[in-house]
Amino acid sequence: MGEALAAGDSLIIFPEGARNLGDALLPFKSGPAYTFLLLKVEVMPP
């Protein structure tokens, strides 16, 4: 993931850990947040 970001690629992350067919959000997982902090990347919500 770090190599893709360094190359200028964009990533789409689902913080719920899965897609949801319903209208409600699923509980967020902590993995994406830890990854962004480790890689020191900017996060832009939609």
Q: pLDDT by residue for the chain (46 residues), tens digit each?
A: 888 888 989 888 888 888 788 888 889 889 888 988 998 888 887 6
How many Cα atoms occupy the beta-carbon half-sphere of 45 within 13 Å?
A: 2
Tokens of 3: 């190599």
Query: Residue 7: what pLDDT?
Result: 93
Query: Residue 33: what pLDDT?
Result: 87
Structure-token match 């789409």, residue found: 12
Query: Residue 23: what pLDDT?
Result: 87
Query: Residue 6: what pLDDT?
Result: 87
DSSP code for 10: -
Cα–Cα distance between 40 and 22 in angstroms, integer?
32
